[in-house]
Structure 1
Amino acid sequence: MHVTIIGSHLCADTLYAINVLAARKVDITFQNLSASLADLKAYLALRESSSLFDGPKANGTLGIPCFILEDGFTTLELEEVLVRL
Structure 2
Amino acid sequence: MKVYGTPICIDCRNYRAIQKSRGFAAEYIDITENTANLKEFLAIRDHDPLFAPQREKGGIGIPLFVGEDGAMTLDVDEALDWIGQPPVRPEEIVEHRACDIGGCK
TM-score tier, shorter chain, comes to 0.7 to 0.9
Number of the residue aligned with 2:63: 65
Distance of 2:19 and 2:72 partners within structure 1:
16
RMSD, matched Cα: 1.2
Residue identity in the other structure for 2:78: E
Equivalent runs, 1:1-85 vs 2, <5 Å: 3-84=1-82, 85=84
Moved more, 18-27 or 33-42: 18-27
Number of the residue aligned with 2:102: none
Distance of 1:51 and 1:60 partners within structure 2:
15
Indicate if the aligned counterparts of 1:22 and 1:28 stay in contact, CA closer than 8 A.
no
Greater percentage in strand: 1
State the TM-score, normalizing by the size of structure 1.
Answer: 0.87
Q: Which string of whole-angstrom CA distances, capped at 9 and with x for unpartnered residues, describes residues 27-70 of structure 1?
A: 11111011121010011110112000001001100001100111
Moved more, 23-32 or 66-75: 23-32
Larger radius of gyration: 2
Size of the aligned set, in residue pairs, is 83
Higher relative contact order (CA closer than 8 Å, sequence separation 6+): 1
User: How far is 1:24 from its partner?
Assistant: 2.9
Distance of 1:29 and 1:56 partners within structure 2:
23
State the TM-score, normalizing by the size of structure 2.
Answer: 0.72
Residue identity over aligned pairs, in percent, reads 29
User: How far is 1:20 from its partner?
Assistant: 1.5
Distance of 1:31 and 1:82 partners within structure 2:
17
Residue identity in the other structure for 2:19: L
